[in-house]
Structure 1
Amino acid sequence: MNIPNHLQISDQIASSGQPDEADFRFIASAGYRSVINLAMHDSDNAIPEEGYIVTRLGMSYHHIPVPFEAPKTSYLIQFIGIMETLKTEKVWVHCALNYRVSAFLYLYFR
């Protein structure tokens, strides 16, 4: 596994920069049931068919495209709502470099 800026937050939650297709296979095999993507569609290394790849591997996929330069509270509220519904699952959260995710997870756990 060579996922950029990977952090294991807890037994249930991991975060990272953009995984590639092989990384998503690893993520699924590690027991993660859901992927949340906070990157924009045009972020560096974005995978246009990411949702298809993730769901084909048996995981649920949630995409909240958060602009790095101008995140809004509404994005955070949507993220918290998704995290609450997935509380009993293993969740992998990523963006392009794990910067947006780090901020969102900090606010989620506060």
Structure 2
Amino acid sequence: MADPVDIRAWQRLDAETTTSGRIEDKDVARLADLGVRHVINLALETHPEALAGEGEKLAAHGIAYTHIPVPFDAPGEDHFAAFVDAVKDGPQPVHVHCIMNWRVSAFFYRLNRDHRQMPEAEARAIMERQWSPEGHDSNEARVWAAFIARSDT
């Protein structure tokens, strides 16, 4: 099956990892058909575009689910540590999403740079396919710029 590029902000990072913005009911079966075994959701379940009952819907298709609700205005090191553990220890292939693929791209930027030893420019280019907090002038963008500037190495 081909990648479902009509899912918001769909991106394939490698053979075992895909990312996107929000998913809808119709996407659950498509992820299963792609062989996804684990979905990590970084969005808040209270967001108007969140998929209600996401964990149960994925489980019905045999897909493990990890929810790490990351407030857009307050990403924390605890969120990032939980994300790293979920990606590292969870079943593969994995699909990671939020609402716009902005949280996800920032988290993968740090994972790629600090844990996978990817060159910074390459990690940044992958993130910038979705967004760059430096390109926005808002309190949230400043929070995210500070978040991606942190390093765990």
Which bracket does the TM-score occupy, shorter chain normalised? over 0.9
One-letter amino acid matched to 2:99: A
Structure 2: gaps of 5 or more residues: 114-153
Would the aligned equivalents of 1:12 and 1:89 in 2 still touch at CA under 8 Å?
yes
- Structure 1 segments, 4+ long, off by >2 Å, are none
Partner Cα separation in structure 2 for residue 43 and residue 13 of structure 1: 24
| Superposition deviation, residue 44 in structure 1 | 3.4
Moved more, 60-69 or 44-53: 44-53
Whose RCO is larger (CA < 8 A, sep 6+)? 1
Q: Note if 1:26 corresponds to 2:26.
A: no
TM-score normalised by length of structure 2: 0.69
TM-score normalised by length of structure 1: 0.95
| Superposition deviation, residue 73 in structure 1 | 0.6
Cα RMSD (Å): 1.0
Residue in 2 that maps onto 1:47: 51
Moved more, 39-48 or 99-108: 39-48
One-letter amino acid matched to 2:54: E
| Superposition deviation, residue 42 in structure 1 | 1.6
Q: Note if 1:109 corresponds to 2:109.
A: no
Q: Which has more helix, going by share of residues?
A: 2
Instruction: Indicate which of 67, 90, 95 corresponds to 2:93.
Output: 90
Residue in 2 that maps onto 1:15: 19
Partner Cα separation in structure 1 for residue 34 and residue 102 of structure 2: 23
Larger Rg: 2
Q: What are the superposed Cα offsets for residues 72-98 of structure 1, whole Å, 9 maximum, x if unpaired?
A: 111000100111103x61000000110
Q: Note if 1:65 corresponds to 2:69.
A: yes
Percent identity of the aligned residues?
Answer: 35
